[in-house]
Structure 1
């Protein structure tokens, strides 16, 4: 019986002692049986001396084939008995990839003083004892030697790439089957399918490392943060400063030159002017000026790259201090900790396909908690659109989190059949209604849907061209994007197949939820779902799920959106009291300017890709099922200073927030949203405790009970006044989705 060979490297040694003669050569393999997931892949090392000549030749061929730049399409295989041998041979070992916690890659010495090595750390302490350190003897490994020859032909000394060695192939093969993350604390250590907590703990910006001096356990001195900052990122900035100083020094040297002094002293002399007008002299002057500009731009570029790297990796102290200054403290009771700020800032671990696959077992069931998955989505997002399709089907509850792959396949078939049989066919083969009012109502719904579909996201390639295949066609009248005046013209029909599917889904939803009908804005909610899924049936059910929570935004009496606006007003009064007071002076205390943003979840304020990232954070319900209110609060907080300093009228405030479209950084706002929620929860906890102490009893001398009001609430202006903890605010702490339904539609309902 054979198993698939994913990786093979020869001449990987175990050093049994300090004597070179005791070194044992072997093969390092990664194998996986058919139908197995990446988690079930096995890592094996087996000595050459335990294999027969035919097995060695077979593995040597596989080594050369798998390490080649042009791999064969055919799959390499190895007998399973070779893998089983590793369980019974001294020094040999076999371990499931899912059991590996981390791998340390220690590259070889450039001078050849030591071999490159790999140390594998297992999650199982007992298993760890049986795994030796592996040494890559590159000079005797045919595949490594061959690859080094190939790379030497295209060697570029300025590309900054690390020197190639045998373990690079091993690491690259692991990257194809598992999620492998390099730690910032020690770049030689890579985590295998790390949890979000592991990624935080091993990040250089982890407050645990910051607060721990280097003498714990190493040496006393600066905090870890300071050492990392000085040793890595300040070097670039200082180097840039040095370059600037060099530039100034060049200028000073130039100015000290006798000829320059002579020119400066006699620059009004006509003979000197004639010399300066000489083309050769001007050429020298231009060259010098160009050199100074080049060096200045180069120095600026280095600084910008250093700052960009710091910001990208959450290492920007300026940004950190800014968050602390704006959000960190409101007194002794409500402070943000270093760890809370770091957790919010560390958003650099997006979900990859390998990481997502590592969450499921061979039957397609989750092996970690749903909250752990949502932690990755909330703090890291999703790396690509293809993966986003799978994740959104879970977030939008099309697939249950506790389902297996087989159950999801059965469910998907059932949902597709149900959509076509129970909803789509009812309007496709709809007969004229005997009631004229109902017939008029249906036609009005169709017109509303078609009008919004025609105007939907026409800047996106999927919806841009009104052609039968959705692509630009030179022979078609609608090959060019439609202008606004054309969009308002009802005479043209929808040909784009994707726009047609949006129309079909919205008409089918009208059948599904006839009480609600179609309301402007619903197409805005459907568009991202279909854009990601590109599947009519699944998009319908995902839209149904989204509308379960969004229906309250479209109720006839507007009670659902009004409740959110009232909650946001309470939240602003509690968290941003100065901003709230100022808005009241501007006749904007009702926060009317937030209405459009909330009703379609900021769909029209951000770029389409950013909207998808924002929505998947909201859909996790990680902190609250109404996290969109904290995102809105973050927008208010971020803009509070310019509003309070410059605006004093309702029209000014409305215009200011309406013109924020396309100018906001969603990632910064999401960090602020999280910190605002953390701070809000602390305040609510304090309010709850003080509410419990608000009334207490005192026994009088004769034993009577007297109820008094606690002095704690004497100051009504205090942020921690228990009376501020309204029911609306308490509901924000819940992860349960708030659902409000449209009551049954009456015959003469007017929308």
Structure 2
């Protein structure tokens, strides 16, 4: 019997003693049976002396083939099985390896490079010797070094090649390897998020600060930290200067005679009549524009400062900024260091190797759904190829507990159902006997086509209206002309055609709702990721299960969210809430567009995909989009409160945030706001229970009560703000609200 040979390296030694004569040469192999998953692959080391000459020749040939770039080969299974019965030999599953330490060789040749494998099983660990790579006598390593020397770049800064690099690269193909900050020679295999957090840079910084021995080795990094701190201090001073400047400029504007007159008599009917004069409006518009500019200027300085911190690795400075803005409630709720660490550590996106490691041989999830969602929520998905698979789970097309076989059957069923039950019903429909119903259908088709034609035309997938979806020379096919005259051209782009088909099929599926502007905005990223008409339809059906309430004809669903957001702002950002009330913006109308299509038009397309997959996890709440919106309000609260005081100014300011926001920073703030919100709600719940107990005790003539603490008094002041809408934010259950049955003439 044969097994697949994924890696082979000759002249890998075990040093049994300090004497060179005792060294044992052997082969380091990675093998996997055809039916096994990547994590069930086996790492084996076996001595040369235990192998037959034909077996040695076979492995040497495989080693050299890999050095020349040849594909995977096969090897007899009995070679691997021999390692179970030979002294010093070992065989270990990749899934049971916790970490591997790669110690490079001495550049001067004083010592060989070595690899130490650490097992998750303490008993197994004792049987795994340290492996030394004798590159000077390994044919494949020497061949690879010759190849690399021809293209050697002395200024590339890359590490010197040695034999274990090939071993590491082979493992990277089948497992998720992460280099630790604590020790760059240490690599974790399929590490959990807790492992990655424990080996984070912040831990390294803490460790270096605690070192009492040889401090000189850290003087260089300390010096650069101080330089970075100095740079940040300069930037902070600049921010202070701009704040003072905006205040000075605002004072100058406020001294304008017309402005003083309006501020003093703005409720006078005569003044209101004067304000309708075009010349007067022009002055007022200039004044409002100046104030909006000042607000955006102040925000821009803050954005640049935060971007400088993250780019230059000033995590501690950014951490202090977050704590100052969000962490200290000043009353009864504070964020902990651990909560800040978890929210900030978003640098471990889910990779293909890590995703594959979550499943067993039958394709069933071997860890909890919550653990998977933790990876997605805190790190996102590495690329669109992997998103294509993961989104089918997030959008509930595939059940999380399904096997490969079950998913194949389900996929085939869904494809047939889409074509037969929905697409065919509008493709081959006969005219309706009722003229008004027929007119309604044609109106729905026109609405769909109108939105499809202008959908995300800056994205390459949708950009060109040609039969193959690619650019052509003819100027009449340019997207700009199509957008200007979208009523007169026919959709040719195959991807736009599929968007049209999916939306019309959904109209058949959910005829009560019909098509509403904005639904194409929701479908576009789904199809962009999946590029599959049938699966995109069912993913869209699931997505609309939660998003339908945004498109109800009576707007009750989006109104409920706006009311909840208002309550949330009053609870979490009371100063901002009060200021918006003074600006006649307490209804947060400017948030409407952002919420209805989940910020689709405020961020770059790829960023929208990253934001949505976080929302779709329902990791903390099924309505986490409200906390993201709250983060936007919090981030912009200072410039708004310092510079804006009119409804139109606030509306214009937030509408012009499009394309200027850092979604990653906002997601960190969203998580911290939720954590803080949860703590406040817990305090309020305890306070309510305490009040109820006090009331019952009073009715029962119990008078020996302990006096309420200051914290309890503060909580009592907030109790009235803990509305039912806010309590619902603590739930992960999706909020579903359906359009009532469509009646004749209900949609015009």
Task: Map 1:394-433; keep pairs closer than 5 Å.
Answer: 394-433=393-432
1:557-615 Cα distance to aligned partner (Å, 9 max, x none)? 11110010000001000110000000000000000000000000000000100000000
What's 1:507 paired with? 504
Rounded to whole Å, the distance in 2 between the matches of 1:315 and 1:229 is: 17
What's 1:573 paired with? 570
Task: Map 1:643-682; keep pairs closer than 5 Å.
Answer: 643-682=640-679
RMSD: 2.7
Structure 1 portions without partners, runs of 5+: 243-305
What's 1:277 paired with? none
Is contact 1:698-1:707 (8 Å) kept?
no
Q: SS of the residue aligned with 1:29?
A: strand
Rounded to whole Å, the distance in 2 between the matches of 1:698 and 1:454 is: 63
The reply on whether 1:14 has 2:11 as its aligned counterpart is no
1:392-439 Cα distance to aligned partner (Å, 9 max, x none)? 011000010000111111100000000001000100111111112211
Q: SS of the residue aligned with 1:468?
A: coil
Rounded to whole Å, the distance in 2 between the matches of 1:714 and 1:674 is: 24
The reply on whether 1:562 has 2:592 as its aligned counterpart is no
1:11-61 Cα distance to aligned partner (Å, 9 max, x none)? 111111122111111000001111322111110000000001111111111
Shift of 1:484: 3.5
What's 2:300 paired with? none
Q: SS of the residue aligned with 1:26?
A: strand
Shift of 1:317: 2.2
Rounded to whole Å, the distance in 2 between the matches of 1:332 and 1:112 is: 63
What's 2:605 paired with? 608
Is contact 1:27-1:47 (8 Å) kept?
yes
Task: Map 1:219-230; keep pairs closer than 5 Å.
Answer: 219=212
Q: SS of the residue aligned with 1:728?
A: helix
1:590–1:240: structure 2 CA closer, same or farther, 3 Å change rule? closer
The reply on whether 1:628 has 2:625 as its aligned counterpart is yes
Shift of 1:332: 5.0
1:151–1:703: structure 2 CA closer, same or farther, 3 Å change rule? closer
What's 1:470 paired with? 469
Rounded to whole Å, the distance in 2 between the matches of 1:159 and 1:613 is: 32
Is contact 1:690-1:712 (8 Å) kept?
no
TM-score computed with the length of structure 2 as normaliser: 0.86
Is contact 2:482-2:489 (8 Å) kept?
no
Shift of 1:149: 2.1
Shift of 1:491: 2.2
The counterpart of 1:531, out of the listed 514, 517, 528, is 528
Task: Map 1:23-38; keep pairs closer than 5 Å.
Answer: 23-38=23-38
1:44–1:171: structure 2 CA closer, same or farther, 3 Å change rule? same
Q: SS of the residue aligned with 1:205?
A: helix
Is contact 1:697-1:707 (8 Å) kept?
no
Task: Map 1:433-452; keep pairs closer than 5 Å.
Answer: 433-452=432-451
What's 2:70 paired with? 72
Rounded to whole Å, the distance in 2 between the matches of 1:707 and 1:595 is: 51
What's 1:740 paired with? 737
Rounded to whole Å, the distance in 2 between the matches of 1:157 and 1:421 is: 63
The reply on whether 1:519 has 2:486 as its aligned counterpart is no
1:238–1:665: structure 2 CA closer, same or farther, 3 Å change rule? closer
1:275-304 Cα distance to aligned partner (Å, 9 max, x none)? xxxxxxxxxxxxxxxxxxxxxxxxxxxxxx
- Choose between structure 1 and 2: higher helix proportion: 2
1:42-95 Cα distance to aligned partner (Å, 9 max, x none)? 100000000011111111111111122xx224x311110000000011110001
Is contact 2:453-2:483 (8 Å) kept?
no
Rounded to whole Å, the distance in 1 between the matches of 2:120 and 2:308 is: 32
What's 2:453 paired with? 454
1:386–1:24: structure 2 CA closer, same or farther, 3 Å change rule? same
Rounded to whole Å, the distance in 2 between the matches of 1:64 and 1:155 is: 21
1:577–1:707: structure 2 CA closer, same or farther, 3 Å change rule? farther
Rounded to whole Å, the distance in 1 between the matches of 2:366 and 2:717 is: 42
Is contact 2:26-2:47 (8 Å) kept?
yes
Q: SS of the residue aligned with 1:734?
A: coil
What's 2:360 paired with? 361
1:122–1:702: structure 2 CA closer, same or farther, 3 Å change rule? closer
1:565–1:220: structure 2 CA closer, same or farther, 3 Å change rule? farther
Rounded to whole Å, the distance in 2 between the matches of 1:655 and 1:87 is: 72
Task: Map 1:178-193; keep pairs closer than 5 Å.
Answer: 178-193=175-190
Rounded to whole Å, the distance in 1 between the matches of 2:459 and 2:207 is: 50
Q: SS of the residue aligned with 2:720?
A: helix
1:125–1:497: structure 2 CA closer, same or farther, 3 Å change rule? same
Q: SS of the residue aligned with 2:365?
A: coil
Task: Map 1:14-413; keep pairs closer than 5 Å.
Answer: 14-68=14-68, 71-73=69-71, 75-206=72-203, 219=212, 231-232=220-221, 234-235=223-224, 311=310, 315-331=314-330, 333-413=332-412
Shift of 1:235: 3.9
Mean Cα displacement is larger for which, 149-158 or 615-624? Answer: 149-158
What's 2:271 paired with? none
Structure 2 portions without partners, runs of 5+: 232-304
Is contact 2:594-2:602 (8 Å) kept?
yes
Shift of 1:551: 0.4
Rounded to whole Å, the distance in 2 between the matches of 1:54 and 1:616 is: 53
TM-score computed with the length of structure 1 as normaliser: 0.86
Higher relative contact order (CA 8 A, sep 6+): 2
Q: SS of the residue aligned with 1:679?
A: helix
Is contact 1:699-1:706 (8 Å) kept?
no
1:491-548 Cα distance to aligned partner (Å, 9 max, x none)? 2211111111111100000010011111000000000001111110000000000000
Q: SS of the residue aligned with 2:111?
A: coil
Q: SS of the residue aligned with 1:378?
A: helix
1:427–1:622: structure 2 CA closer, same or farther, 3 Å change rule? same
What's 1:278 paired with? none
